[in-house]
């Protein structure tokens, strides 16, 4: 017999791990290329969008990781 909860649990773990790895990768890349990022962002003109877009990407990835992490632990918000 197939255990549906085990399949959902393993799928949720895979999604959580993927977002976690992606989040970690983004932080490491930002740390490693900090000088290049700051030089690009300080060019003026439309380059002000670089840090804004970066913040949105970080927020999306880390937010999804956090949401899936709490779901995996079974912690839900009160309604």
Please, are residues 51 and 41 in contact by the beta-carbon 8 Å criterion? yes
Supply the pLDDT for residue 22.
98
Smallest CA-to-CA distance from 64 within 2, 29, 22, 1 is with 22
pLDDT (tens digit, 9 = 90+) per residue, 1-41?
567 677 778 899 999 999 999 999 999 999 999 999 999 99
Residues 48-53: what's their mean pLDDT?
Answer: 95
H/E run at residue 1: none
């Amino acid at each position: 017999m197939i255990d549906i909860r085990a399949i959902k649990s393993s799928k949720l773990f895979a999604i959580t791990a993927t977002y976690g790895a992606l989040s970690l990768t983004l932080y490491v890349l930002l740390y490693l290329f900090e000088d290049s990022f700051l030089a690009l962002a300080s060019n003026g003109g439309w380059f002000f969008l670089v840090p804004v877009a970066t913040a949105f990407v970080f927020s999306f990835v880390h937010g999804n990781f956090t949401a899936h992490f709490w779901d995996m632990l079974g912690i839900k918000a009160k309604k």
